[in-house]
Structure 1
Amino acid sequence: MTPAARISAAIEVLADIDARRRPAADALKDWGLAHRFAGSKDRAAIASLVYDALRRKASSAWIMGENTPRAVVLGMLRLQRGLDAGAIAALCSGERFAPEPLSGEERDRLATADLSGAPAHVAGDFPDWIEPSLQRLFGGDLVPEMQALATRAPLDLRVNTLKVSSREEAHDALPHLGAIETPLSPLGLRIAPSEDGRGPAVQSEPEFLKGWIEIQDEGSQLAALISQVKPGEQVVDLCAGGGGKTLALAAMMDNHGQIYATDNDARRLAPIHDRLSRAGVRNVQVRTPRAKADAVSDLDGRMDCVLVDAPCTGIGTWRRNPDAKWRLRPGSLETRRKEQATVLDRAARLVKPGGRIVYITCSILPEENDDALSAFLERHDGFRPEPHDALPGQAGLQSLTEKIRRTAYGLQLTPHRTGTDGFFVAILRREA
C-alpha cells in the first residue's frame, strides 16, 4: 500500500471507531480481515496512524476546525508527524486509494493554525470532565503533563535477576535491539519507539524465552522496588493479574519466602503459570478463586506485605492505550473507586501487626489515589501512611528522589517528570 492509501485506511478505521464506539484494536482487526491484501507492515503502519490520531484527537480537531475522522488525521499529520501543508497536500491527491484533495480551508488551517488559545483539555488532549481532578494534582503543570501522556511510549524490559547476573549481561546479549539502560530503574532496558510505531518481536528472542527479560514499564518496575519486599517475607499479591509485579517481587526476594498470587478474576491469572516457569520462580503459590470464594482466607493476619495493584481507570497508560481516554466515562471512575475500597478492605484483614499494604494504581486521578487512601484510613483504625519522602532512598532509588511528584500519601510517577507511565505508589503500615 502507498502512504496515501494507508492514510485513507486510517480515516476509515477512525470512522468505524466513532460510529460503533468500539476499541481501536477491534476496529483495526476487522479492517484487516476485510482487506486481506494488506501486509503486516501495512497493518502496522495503519495502526500507528490510528493510534497517533487518537493521541492528538482534540488538538487535531481544534486546528482543523472540525471533529471528523479526516480532520483528525490531517491535524495529527501536522501536530504529531510534523508534516507541513505541502507534504500533506501531496498525500491527499485524490488519486486511486488516496484521500480527496485538500480544500482551501484545510490547506489554510494546516499552514497557519496552532494551539494558541486552546483550552487545557484541547492542548493536553484529554476529556474535559476530568480537568478539575487533574488540576488538583498538576496545577500549572497540567498541559505539559498531559501532553507528555499523549506521546508514544517506549518498550521497557526488566532484567530477571533469577536468571541473569546483571543488567549489563542482558544488555550485551541483545545488541540488535538498540536498547539502552533505563535512567531510574536499575533493572530496566529501554527500546525507543520506531518511526512507524512498530516494536521488535521481543517475545521471540532467545533471551526472552529463557526468562532473562520480561516486558514491564519502568514505572511498574519502580513501584515493585518501592515495596521493599525482602527474602523470607510472606507476601500476597492481591490483584496479580498476569503476574508482572509478582515476577518482579519474586526476583527481589531471590526465591526465598512466599508469595501468594491471586485475583478476583480467574481469567486474568491464566498467563501467570507459564510466566513463572519461564522466569525460574519457585516461591509463588497461585491461588485461583473458585465460585467467588475467597482464595486467601487462611492467610488473614499473617502477611508481612500485601500488594494491592488496584483496579483503576488506567489513565496512566494512555500513551499505550490512547483510545481508552475517549471511552472513559464518570460512571467508570465511580465503579473503580468502589472496587478500590473493596480490595483495600480485604488487604487490611491480611496484614499482620507491623506489616504493610503497598497500594499501587496506574492512574493520575486523586480520587483513585490519595482520596481512596484517605477514605480507607477513616474506615480503619490502626493504619498509618509511611513517610513517603524517604521511600525512594530506602529502595535504593536516589535518582528518583528529585523527579517524583509527592502527594498527601504517596508518590506519583508521570511521563513528564519520570519518563514512565503514570503510576501512584503509597505504603500503609499496620501498627504493631
Structure 2
Amino acid sequence: MTPVARISAAIEVLDDIIDRRRPAADALKDWGLSHRFAGSKDRRAIGDLVFDALRHRSSAAFAAGDENGRAIILGLFRVHRGLDVPSIERLISGERFAPLPLTDEERAVLGADRLAEAPDHVRGDYPEWLAEELGRVFGEDVVAEMQAMAASAPLDLRVNTLKSEPDNAARELTSELGRAPERPALSPLCLRLPLEPERGEPHIASTECFLKGHIEIQDLGSQLAAEFAGARPGMQVLDFCAGGGGKTLAMAPAMQNHGQIFAYDSDRRRLAPIHDRLARAGIRNVQVRTPKPGSDVLDDLEKRMDLVLVDAPCTGTGTWRRNPDAKWRIRPGSLAERQKDQAAVIEAAARYVKTGGRLAYITCSLLESENSDRVAAFLADHPGFEAVDPETLVAAYETEAMIETGDAVRRLPLGLMLTPRRSGTDGFFIAVLVRRS
C-alpha cells in the first residue's frame, strides 16, 4: 500500500470506531480481514496512525472543525505532526487511493490557530465530563499532565534478580536486539526501550533473555507500585487480585524466594498465565490459590498476612497512553461500578491482614474518586487501620534502591501518584495502610 492509501484506510477505521463506539483493536482486526492484500507493515502503519489519532482525538478534531475520522486525521497532521496546509494538501490530493482533496472550508480551518482558545479538556485530550475529577488532583497542571498522558508509551522491562543482574540483562538485550536499552533513574531494575516507529516494537517474548526468565515486560509504574508495597524476605504475602501475576512476579525477587506469596484472583481465567510465568522466572515461594465454587480457598489465611496487596479493578485512566481508545469509551456508569468494586475488594482483603501487617491499595487510575476517596472511606469505617505517611514510603524505597526520586513521585495526603509527566510511567496510585488493632 502507498502512504496515502494507508491514510485513507486509517480514516475508514476511525469512522468505524466512532460510528459504532467499538474498541480500536476490533475495528483494525475487521479491516485487516476484509483487506487481506494489506501486508503486516501496512497494518502496523495504519494501526499506528489510528492510535495516534485517538490519543489526540479531541484536539485534532477541534483544530479541523469536525469530529469524523477525516477531520481527526487532518487535525493530527496539522497540530501534532507539524505539517502546514500545503504539506497536508500534497497528502490529501484525491489521486489514486488518496483521500479527497481539501475543501475551501477545511483549508481555512486548518490555517487558523483554533487551539489557542480551546477549553482545557480539548487541549489536554480527555473527556469533558472528567474535567472536575482530573482537576481535583492536577489543578492548574491538568493540561500538561494530560498532554503527557496522550503521548506514546515506551516498552519497559523488569530485570528478574533471581536469574540475572541489570548490567548482564542489558548486555543480553543489546546483543539480541541490536539496540541498547535505557536505564530510567527511578529504578535500578528497569530497562527501557523507547519507541522507534520505523522499526516497530521488538518481539521481546521471543528473545533468549525473556525465555530464560531474565526479564519480564512490566511498566515502570507497576514495578514501583510493587516496590512501594514493601514485600521483604520471610514475609507472608497475599496478592489478592493477582490476575496474570505481574506484581507477584515482581515481589518474589524482592523477597529473594524466602517467605510465601499466595496469589489469588476471583476470576480463575485471569490466573491462567501465572503458572508458566512463575516457572520461567524460577520463583519457588508462590502458592496459587484458584477459586473453587462453594469453597473459601483463603479461609486459612485470615489475619495471618504481613502484607496484602490489592491491585484494585479500576477505570484504567492511568493506562491511556497504551489504550487511547479507552478514554473515549469510558462513561460515568462504568466509573460508578468500579467504585463499588473497589469498596468491596478492599473490604474483603482487609480480613487477611494481621495486626501490624500492611494493606497496599493500588490502582492504575488518575481519579481521586477511585484513589484517595476509597482509602478515606475505608479508614473511616475501619479505625483499626491507619495510612502510612507517603514520605515514609518514598524514603524506604530510596534507601532500598539507593536512589533519589525527587519530585518524580507525587506525595498525596493518603498515598503516592505516578504519572507520565512526572515519573515517565503509566498513571498509578499507591496507598499503604497498617493494621494497628
Matches within 5 A, 1:43-192: 43-164=43-164, 166-175=165-174, 176-192=178-194
Give the CA deviation at 1:390. 2.1
1:417 aligns with 2:416: no
1:324 aligns with 2:329: no
Alpha-carbon contact 2:63-2:79 (below 8 Å) kept: no
Provide, for residues 237-295 of structure 1, a one-character-per-residue CA deviation record: whole Å limited to 9, x for no partner. 00111111110001111111100001111111111111111111111111111227443
SS at match of 1:384: strand
CA distance, structure 2, for counterparts of residue 410 and residue 401 of structure 1: 16
CA distance, structure 2, for counterparts of residue 52 and residue 316 of structure 1: 17
Indicate the residue corresponding to 2:408 in structure 1. 403
Alpha-carbon contact 1:392-1:401 (below 8 Å) kept: no
Give the CA deviation at 1:97. 1.2
CA distance, structure 1, for counterparts of residue 57 and residue 252 of structure 2: 40
SS at match of 1:341: helix
Distance 1:149 1:292, change over 3 A: farther
With structure 2 as the length reference, what TM-score do the two structures score? 0.96
CA distance, structure 2, for counterparts of residue 15 and residue 194 of structure 1: 27
CA distance, structure 2, for counterparts of residue 294 and residue 65 of structure 1: 57
SS at match of 1:278: helix
Alpha-carbon contact 1:55-1:323 (below 8 Å) kept: yes
Indicate the residue corresponding to 1:371 in structure 2. 373
CA distance, structure 1, for counterparts of residue 334 and residue 285 of structure 2: 36
Aligned-pair identity in percent equals: 59
Give the CA deviation at 1:80. 2.6
Indicate the residue corresponding to 2:435 in structure 1. 430
Provide, for residues 40-72 of structure 1, a one-character-per-residue CA deviation record: whole Å limited to 9, x for no partner. 111011000100110011001111111111000
Which has the larger displacement, 409-418 or 176-185? 176-185
- Total equivalences in the alignment: 431
CA distance, structure 2, for counterparts of residue 294 and residue 148 of structure 1: 43
CA distance, structure 2, for counterparts of residue 197 and residue 13 of structure 1: 23
SS at match of 1:395: helix
Indicate the residue corresponding to 1:246 in structure 2. 248
Give the CA deviation at 1:380. 1.2
Indicate the residue corresponding to 2:204 in structure 1. 202
SS at match of 1:289: coil
Give the CA deviation at 1:74. 1.1
SS at match of 1:322: coil
Give the CA deviation at 1:196. 4.9
CA distance, structure 1, for counterparts of residue 415 and residue 310 of structure 2: 14
Tell me which stretches of 4 or more aligned residues in structure 1 moved more than 4 Å. Answer: none
Where does structure 1 lack aligned partners over 5 or more consecutive residues?
none
Structure 2 counterpart of 1:427, one-letter code: V
Indicate the residue corresponding to 1:4 in structure 2. 4
With structure 1 as the length reference, what TM-score do the two structures score? 0.97
Which has the larger displacement, 365-374 or 100-109? 100-109
Distance 1:197 1:64, change over 3 A: farther
Indicate the residue corresponding to 1:257 in structure 2. 259
CA distance, structure 2, for counterparts of residue 230 and residue 324 of structure 1: 35
Structure 2 counterpart of 1:43, one-letter code: R
CA distance, structure 2, for counterparts of residue 196 and residue 319 of structure 1: 19
Q: CA RMSD in A?
A: 1.3
Indicate the residue corresponding to 2:40 in structure 1. 40
CA distance, structure 1, for counterparts of residue 296 and residue 70 of structure 2: 50
